[in-house]
Structure 1
Amino acid sequence: MGLFSKLKKTQRDIVKEEIVETPWHVLSEIKQLDEIVEQSKTTPVAIFKHSTTCGISKMAFRNFERNYDLTDDQMKLYYLDLKAHRDVSDEVGYKFQVQHQSPQLIVVKNGVAVANASHHSIQADELQKFI
Protein backbone atom coordinates (compact mmCIF):
# COMPACT_ATOMS: atom_id res chain seq x y z
CA MET A 1 0.00 0.00 0.00
CA GLY A 2 2.93 2.38 0.62
CA LEU A 3 3.75 2.48 -3.08
CA PHE A 4 0.17 3.31 -4.07
CA SER A 5 -0.13 6.09 -1.50
CA LYS A 6 2.95 7.74 -3.01
CA LEU A 7 1.43 7.53 -6.47
CA LYS A 8 -1.68 9.37 -5.29
CA LYS A 9 0.31 12.39 -4.08
CA THR A 10 0.22 15.51 -6.17
CA GLN A 11 3.27 17.70 -6.74
CA ARG A 12 1.80 20.17 -4.25
CA ASP A 13 1.52 17.45 -1.57
CA ILE A 14 5.17 16.53 -2.08
CA VAL A 15 6.30 20.17 -1.83
CA LYS A 16 4.23 20.72 1.32
CA GLU A 17 5.99 17.77 2.98
CA GLU A 18 9.38 19.31 2.21
CA ILE A 19 8.54 22.69 3.72
CA VAL A 20 10.13 23.24 7.11
CA GLU A 21 8.29 25.69 9.33
CA THR A 22 10.30 28.72 10.43
CA PRO A 23 10.53 28.64 14.26
CA TRP A 24 9.11 32.12 14.91
CA HIS A 25 8.51 33.55 18.38
CA VAL A 26 6.16 36.54 18.39
CA LEU A 27 7.57 39.73 19.89
CA SER A 28 4.60 41.81 21.03
CA GLU A 29 5.48 43.23 24.44
CA ILE A 30 8.27 45.49 25.64
CA LYS A 31 8.93 43.26 28.66
CA GLN A 32 10.04 40.49 26.27
CA LEU A 33 13.15 42.50 25.43
CA ASP A 34 14.67 41.70 28.84
CA GLU A 35 14.04 38.00 28.12
CA ILE A 36 15.73 38.40 24.74
CA VAL A 37 18.79 39.95 26.39
CA GLU A 38 19.02 36.98 28.77
CA GLN A 39 18.44 34.41 25.99
CA SER A 40 21.14 36.01 23.88
CA LYS A 41 23.73 35.19 26.55
CA THR A 42 23.41 31.49 25.69
CA THR A 43 21.79 31.44 22.23
CA PRO A 44 21.97 34.12 19.54
CA VAL A 45 18.70 35.95 18.92
CA ALA A 46 17.44 37.49 15.68
CA ILE A 47 14.58 39.98 15.55
CA PHE A 48 12.79 40.43 12.22
CA LYS A 49 10.92 43.75 12.15
CA HIS A 50 8.21 43.47 9.48
CA SER A 51 5.76 45.98 8.09
CA THR A 52 2.69 44.02 7.05
CA THR A 53 1.57 46.73 4.61
CA CYS A 54 4.86 47.17 2.74
CA GLY A 55 5.56 45.22 -0.45
CA ILE A 56 9.33 45.35 0.01
CA SER A 57 8.97 44.09 3.57
CA LYS A 58 6.73 41.25 2.41
CA MET A 59 9.25 40.22 -0.26
CA ALA A 60 12.17 40.34 2.21
CA PHE A 61 10.13 38.30 4.70
CA ARG A 62 9.30 35.60 2.13
CA ASN A 63 12.90 35.37 0.94
CA PHE A 64 14.09 35.14 4.53
CA GLU A 65 11.67 32.33 5.39
CA ARG A 66 12.53 30.45 2.20
CA ASN A 67 16.23 30.44 3.07
CA TYR A 68 16.19 30.19 6.88
CA ASP A 69 17.49 26.80 7.96
CA LEU A 70 18.50 27.12 11.63
CA THR A 71 16.76 25.37 14.48
CA ASP A 72 15.34 27.00 17.59
CA ASP A 73 18.29 25.56 19.54
CA GLN A 74 20.79 27.31 17.26
CA MET A 75 19.11 30.71 17.17
CA LYS A 76 15.97 32.21 18.69
CA LEU A 77 14.01 33.95 15.97
CA TYR A 78 11.53 36.71 16.84
CA TYR A 79 8.91 38.27 14.58
CA LEU A 80 7.79 41.84 15.27
CA ASP A 81 4.76 43.27 13.45
CA LEU A 82 5.64 46.98 13.26
CA LYS A 83 2.11 48.12 12.53
CA ALA A 84 0.61 46.35 15.54
CA HIS A 85 3.47 47.01 17.97
CA ARG A 86 5.14 50.31 17.13
CA ASP A 87 5.98 50.89 20.81
CA VAL A 88 7.93 47.63 20.91
CA SER A 89 9.75 48.55 17.70
CA ASP A 90 10.76 51.91 19.16
CA GLU A 91 12.04 50.21 22.31
CA VAL A 92 14.04 47.69 20.25
CA GLY A 93 15.85 50.57 18.57
CA TYR A 94 16.51 52.30 21.87
CA LYS A 95 17.55 49.18 23.83
CA PHE A 96 19.87 47.80 21.15
CA GLN A 97 21.02 51.19 19.77
CA VAL A 98 19.92 50.43 16.21
CA GLN A 99 18.33 53.00 13.92
CA HIS A 100 14.83 51.97 12.81
CA GLN A 101 14.43 50.44 9.37
CA SER A 102 11.62 48.42 7.85
CA PRO A 103 12.04 45.61 7.14
CA GLN A 104 14.97 45.01 9.44
CA LEU A 105 16.82 42.05 10.93
CA ILE A 106 18.76 42.59 14.17
CA VAL A 107 21.09 39.98 15.66
CA VAL A 108 21.63 40.08 19.43
CA LYS A 109 24.43 38.22 21.25
CA ASN A 110 25.44 38.65 24.87
CA GLY A 111 22.80 41.34 25.32
CA VAL A 112 23.93 43.66 22.52
CA ALA A 113 23.17 44.06 18.83
CA VAL A 114 26.09 42.64 16.87
CA ALA A 115 24.60 43.07 13.39
CA ASN A 116 21.62 44.46 11.55
CA ALA A 117 20.43 44.56 7.98
CA SER A 118 17.50 46.09 6.19
CA HIS A 119 15.56 45.76 2.97
CA HIS A 120 17.35 43.66 0.34
CA SER A 121 20.41 43.23 2.58
CA ILE A 122 18.49 40.80 4.82
CA GLN A 123 19.96 37.37 4.09
CA ALA A 124 19.02 34.33 6.19
CA ASP A 125 22.22 32.48 5.30
CA GLU A 126 24.29 35.28 6.89
CA LEU A 127 22.99 34.22 10.33
CA GLN A 128 25.10 31.06 10.29
CA LYS A 129 28.19 33.08 11.23
CA PHE A 130 26.61 34.13 14.55
CA ILE A 131 26.11 30.56 15.77
Structure 2
Amino acid sequence: MIASWIPLTTPEQLTDIVRESEEQPVLIFKHSTTCSISATAKSRLERQWADAAPANAKFYYLDLLRFRPISAEIAQKFRVQHESPQLLLIQQGECRYHASHMGIRLSDVQQAIG
Protein backbone atom coordinates (compact mmCIF):
# COMPACT_ATOMS: atom_id res chain seq x y z
CA MET A 1 0.00 0.00 0.00
CA ILE A 2 1.01 3.57 -0.52
CA ALA A 3 2.43 4.90 2.69
CA SER A 4 1.23 8.46 2.31
CA TRP A 5 -1.08 10.15 -0.17
CA ILE A 6 -0.66 13.92 -0.30
CA PRO A 7 -4.06 15.43 -1.11
CA LEU A 8 -3.88 17.86 -4.03
CA THR A 9 -6.51 20.44 -3.15
CA THR A 10 -5.19 23.86 -4.19
CA PRO A 11 -3.76 25.28 -7.41
CA GLU A 12 -0.84 26.66 -5.40
CA GLN A 13 0.34 23.11 -4.76
CA LEU A 14 1.20 22.82 -8.46
CA THR A 15 3.93 25.41 -7.90
CA ASP A 16 5.22 23.28 -5.01
CA ILE A 17 5.13 20.17 -7.22
CA VAL A 18 7.24 21.84 -9.90
CA ARG A 19 9.77 22.92 -7.25
CA GLU A 20 9.82 19.49 -5.58
CA SER A 21 10.29 17.78 -8.94
CA GLU A 22 13.71 19.43 -9.24
CA GLU A 23 14.88 17.28 -6.30
CA GLN A 24 12.84 14.09 -6.55
CA PRO A 25 10.21 12.37 -8.70
CA VAL A 26 6.68 13.58 -8.10
CA LEU A 27 3.66 11.51 -9.08
CA ILE A 28 0.13 12.83 -9.47
CA PHE A 29 -2.74 10.36 -9.51
CA LYS A 30 -6.01 11.81 -10.80
CA HIS A 31 -8.97 9.77 -9.54
CA SER A 32 -12.71 9.92 -10.11
CA THR A 33 -14.24 8.63 -6.89
CA THR A 34 -17.46 7.47 -8.61
CA CYS A 35 -15.87 5.60 -11.53
CA SER A 36 -15.32 1.85 -11.23
CA ILE A 37 -12.46 1.92 -13.77
CA SER A 38 -10.72 4.61 -11.73
CA ALA A 39 -11.23 2.58 -8.54
CA THR A 40 -9.71 -0.48 -10.23
CA ALA A 41 -6.73 1.53 -11.49
CA LYS A 42 -6.18 2.97 -7.99
CA SER A 43 -6.31 -0.49 -6.44
CA ARG A 44 -3.83 -1.87 -9.00
CA LEU A 45 -1.52 1.07 -8.35
CA GLU A 46 -1.61 0.46 -4.61
CA ARG A 47 -0.83 -3.24 -5.08
CA GLN A 48 2.21 -2.35 -7.23
CA TRP A 49 3.52 0.21 -4.75
CA ALA A 50 5.55 -2.11 -2.48
CA ASP A 51 7.50 -3.63 -5.37
CA ALA A 52 7.71 -0.83 -7.93
CA ALA A 53 7.37 2.58 -6.31
CA PRO A 54 10.16 4.99 -7.21
CA ALA A 55 12.51 5.68 -4.33
CA ASN A 56 11.93 8.99 -2.58
CA ALA A 57 8.96 9.89 -4.77
CA LYS A 58 6.23 12.18 -3.52
CA PHE A 59 2.77 10.94 -4.37
CA TYR A 60 -0.11 13.37 -4.82
CA TYR A 61 -3.76 12.34 -5.06
CA LEU A 62 -6.34 14.49 -6.84
CA ASP A 63 -10.06 13.86 -6.27
CA LEU A 64 -11.36 14.95 -9.67
CA LEU A 65 -14.94 15.41 -8.58
CA ARG A 66 -14.06 17.80 -5.77
CA PHE A 67 -11.21 19.63 -7.53
CA ARG A 68 -11.96 19.55 -11.27
CA PRO A 69 -10.41 23.01 -11.97
CA ILE A 70 -7.06 21.72 -10.65
CA SER A 71 -7.21 18.86 -13.15
CA ALA A 72 -7.68 21.36 -15.98
CA GLU A 73 -4.73 23.37 -14.69
CA ILE A 74 -2.58 20.20 -14.57
CA ALA A 75 -3.45 19.48 -18.21
CA GLN A 76 -2.47 23.00 -19.24
CA LYS A 77 0.64 23.34 -17.06
CA PHE A 78 2.14 19.97 -18.01
CA ARG A 79 0.78 19.84 -21.58
CA VAL A 80 -1.14 16.58 -21.26
CA GLN A 81 -4.68 15.73 -22.24
CA HIS A 82 -6.99 15.31 -19.25
CA GLU A 83 -7.95 11.71 -18.61
CA SER A 84 -9.34 9.84 -15.65
CA PRO A 85 -7.87 7.93 -14.03
CA GLN A 86 -4.45 9.27 -14.92
CA LEU A 87 -0.94 9.05 -13.49
CA LEU A 88 1.70 11.69 -14.24
CA LEU A 89 5.40 11.69 -13.43
CA ILE A 90 6.81 15.18 -12.95
CA GLN A 91 10.59 15.66 -13.06
CA GLN A 92 12.57 18.84 -13.52
CA GLY A 93 9.27 20.73 -13.76
CA GLU A 94 7.97 18.72 -16.72
CA CYS A 95 5.71 15.75 -17.26
CA ARG A 96 8.08 12.92 -18.25
CA TYR A 97 5.46 10.16 -18.30
CA HIS A 98 1.71 9.88 -18.18
CA ALA A 99 -0.70 7.00 -18.54
CA SER A 100 -4.38 6.42 -18.02
CA HIS A 101 -6.89 3.72 -17.25
CA MET A 102 -5.43 0.21 -17.21
CA GLY A 103 -2.19 1.45 -18.78
CA ILE A 104 -1.05 2.82 -15.40
CA ARG A 105 1.99 0.80 -14.25
CA LEU A 106 4.64 1.81 -11.75
CA SER A 107 7.18 -0.34 -13.61
CA ASP A 108 6.74 2.04 -16.57
CA VAL A 109 7.30 4.98 -14.22
CA GLN A 110 10.55 3.36 -13.03
CA GLN A 111 11.73 3.06 -16.66
CA ALA A 112 10.83 6.70 -17.35
CA ILE A 113 12.88 7.81 -14.34
CA GLY A 114 15.85 5.84 -15.66
CA contact (8 A) 1:51 1:82 kept: yes
| Structure 2: tracts of 5 or more residues without a match | none
- 2:81 is paired with a residue whose SS is coil
TM-score (structure 1 length as normaliser): 0.79
Stretch moving more, 33-42 or 20-29: 20-29
Identify the residue that residue 64 of structure 1 maps to in structure 2: 45
Q: Which amino acid aligns with 2:16?
A: E
Is 1:37 the counterpart of 2:10? The answer is no
Q: How far off is 1:41 after superposition?
A: 0.3
Q: How far off is 1:21 after superposition?
A: 4.1
Identity within the alignment, %:
41
Q: Counterparts of 1:128 and 1:118 in 2: how far apart (Å)? A: 16
Q: Counterparts of 1:124 and 1:107 in 2: how far apart (Å)? A: 10
Is 1:25 the counterpart of 2:6? The answer is yes
Q: Counterparts of 1:82 and 1:55 in 2: how far apart (Å)? A: 14
Q: Which amino acid aligns with 1:58?
A: A
| Structure 1: tracts of 5 or more residues without a match | 1-19
Q: Counterparts of 1:101 and 1:38 in 2: how far apart (Å)? A: 24
- 1:68 is paired with a residue whose SS is helix
The structure with the largest alpha-carbon Rg is 1
Identify the residue that residue 13 of structure 1 maps to in structure 2: none
Q: How far off is 1:74 after superposition?
A: 1.6
Which among 90, 99, 103 is matched to residue 81 of structure 2?
99
Higher RCO, Cα 8 Å, sep 6+: 2
Is 1:75 the counterpart of 2:74? The answer is no
CA contact (8 A) 1:22 1:65 kept: no
CA RMSD of aligned residues (A): 1.4
Q: Counterparts of 1:21 and 1:107 in 2: how far apart (Å)? A: 16
CA contact (8 A) 2:87 2:104 kept: yes
Q: How far off is 1:127 after superposition?
A: 2.2
TM-score (structure 2 length as normaliser): 0.91
Q: Counterparts of 2:108 and 2:37 in 1: how far apart (Å)? A: 19
Q: CA deviation digits over 1:22-52, x for unaligned, max 9? A: 3211101000000000000010111000000
Q: Which amino acid aligns with 1:94?
A: Q
